[in-house]
Amino acid sequence: MGFPDTRLLPATILALLCCVLAAPAFGADAVEVGRRIYQEGVLSDGSVLRGTRLDGTVVTGADATCAQCHRPSGMGAVEGDIQAPPVTGNALFSTGDRVIATMDPRSGKAFNRAHEPYTDATVVAAVREGRRVDGQKMQPLMPRYRLGPADMDALVAYLHSLSSSWSPGVDDSTIHFATVVAPDVPAARRALFIDMAKKIVAQKNGSTMTASTGRSRHHMTSAAELVLGTERRWVLDVWELHGAPDTWAAQLETNYARQPVFALVSGLGGSDWGPVDSFCDRERVPCWFPSVTMPPANAPRYSLYFSGGVVLETRVLATQLMLPEASPTHRVIQVFRDDATGRGAAKALTDALASSKVQVVDRIISGDAATAVQGAVADAGPSDVVMFWLAEPDVAQLQAFAPPVGHSYFSAVLGGAERIPLKGAWRTSAQLVYPYELPGRRAANLAYFKAWLNQRHIPLDDEIMQSQVYFSFAFLTDTISEMLNNLHRDYLLERAETMIAKREGSKAEAEYYSSTQNHVRTHAQSAGVIADHAASVEAPGLQALQLAGSSFGKREGTTVFPRLTLGPGQRFASKGGYIAHFDGDGALVADSAWSVP
């Protein structure tokens, strides 16, 4: 039996009323039962959800969930020409503002079609019979579900509550964010990170137009955002952690209780980031592209990372060592300190080589790096591989003795990438496991980022970390703008999964043409072409630059990575790396193709 028609009630009262009306079956747990059906495909009795499409195809369990097409947020999705429309409480029952969701700005698809409000009875007809509110059949891919009365009531109750209000940290004019800094980050790096984060947010707020500020817009990301007036001022809190990792959870909870935030943006980690991941998953707060050395091998749902860090490096190296054409390896000797990163990296490489016949030997060092490392590799032979999981201060001490006779590899993530302080014979013989684009190839990608630093008199001390911070905030700005008024945390993650590759492509293209246009305009003016006529040479000038490849270089993205891509459920945007070495001129040269393990 369906619920009474409660379309005119506020969304918050509706959600509570749905729970009460479902009380005979599930009491206060009705919405949770509906959530498990919607997101996990598990019915109230523990059995799996089962649906049948119009062509007779049967789907079960996770493949049958509503979230598979309509996404966990309920905001829908676009796949080719197929649109799965929003099924949030507001979208279905018209209990709040009309849901307008620009799904793909490059193709023009948008979810802004109006339909008559659903009632509980017409939702039941949609779920069981595949009929829209107007009585017409839904598309063939929509499964039909033969849910029992109790499960159906629970699902309807959950749909009433789904994304029916903004997530915590959001109000009419403000969005609250936080960024987290781990305690073992060096002071200078910490200060640079915080300075950048604050200046980025200040710049964003300086061009934000809200009813309260009355400020004029300096630039515009989204035309829809302008028309609908959905811009908000950002407030950024810096959560600086202290003490041992087992105390971080309480610190994070205290900060969050003081001021809930919509997401954690960027962030700077040292040897451990696990407690931050756990906090984000527990509170369902997105952790948006932090700069950390070792994310978990299987990132939780609410965390998005640039790459797998040192864990990715272990897989790139293992793939290289197990190639059929690779030189036979007798042993892999791992040299590392006894901390979370060292232990984690060593275990990950051991696991990655488990299917091979290579013997893995761990050598844990302590105290003075030069003395400890020399002893750890004293027995390394020509057919051995030594993998150094060492940070920059330890690497800098290795020049005190000669490198081992076998192959030596270093972690670019831990050692400082191309800035790794290797000298003399170490520099000419060592190889890096390098999960970034090579420096020469990424120069064009970072042109705008470096110009931004120059304009704000921020030193470029750590290109990888600083460019990651810049991207994290810039991508969040673009994503929030395109979300319009649909400020739901799950939707933020879904937008990232769907749009990161397209956003990178369009940004790179825009930066490329902007730089070449400026180049042509400057050249024309220096050649004596007056301003009114400069445009007449711009088009053929651009064409000539394109044909010549442009001295600025064609951009592939806007980061230190060759490309960033995500898909539903994916949490690492860059998925490969190089094996590289320094040539005689000090340039980093790839020994392998970009490898995706």
Torsion (CA) 42, 48, 53, 58 in degrees, nearest 10: 160
Alpha carbon distance 166, 69 (integer Å)? 22
Domain boundaries in the chain?
11-161, 310-434+575-590
pLDDT tens digits along 420-446:
999 999 999 999 999 999 999 999 899
Question: Can you state the angle between helices 447-455 and 489-526, rounded to 10 degrees?
Answer: 80
Task: Give residue 26's pLDDT.
Answer: 38
Q: Higher model confidence: residue 115 or residue 250?
A: 250
Give the least confident one: 32-36, 74-78, 517-521, 582-586.
517-521
Q: What is the pLDDT of residue 16?
A: 35
Out of 275-284, 319-328, 368-377, 417-426, least confident range: 319-328
How far does Cα 381 stand from its chain's mean position? 42
- The CATH number given to 310-434+575-590 is 3.40.50.2300
Q: What is the pLDDT of residue 100?
A: 83
| Model confidence band, residue 568 (pLDDT cutoffs 50, 70, 90) | very high
Q: Which of 221, 130, 194, 222 is nearest to 466 (CA)?
A: 194
> Would you state the pLDDT for residue 4?
33
User: Span 122-151, mean pLDDT?
Assistant: 94
pLDDT of residue 514 exceeding 70, the answer is no
Answer whether residue 467 shows pLDDT above 50: yes
**Statement: residue 99 has pLDDT above 50:** yes
Beta strands in 412-528, from DSSP E residues, in sequence order: 431-434
Q: Which among 391, 367, 362 has a CA at the least distance from the CA of 294?
A: 391
Model confidence at 414: pLDDT above 90: yes
Burial of 597 (0-12, 13-18, 19+ CB in 10 A): middle
Q: What is the mean pLDDT of residues 100-108?
A: 65
536 has pLDDT over 60 = no
**Residues 6+ away with beta carbon under 8 Å from 142:** 53, 54, 69, 130
- pLDDT value for 10: 39
Residue-wise pLDDT for 137-193, tens only, equals 998 999 999 999 999 999 999 999 999 999 999 999 999 999 999 999 999 999 999
Least confidently predicted of 71-80, 202-211, 504-513, 524-533:
524-533
Give 8-27 pLDDT, tens digit per residue: 333 333 333 343 333 334 34
- Residue of higher predicted confidence among 135 and 524: 135
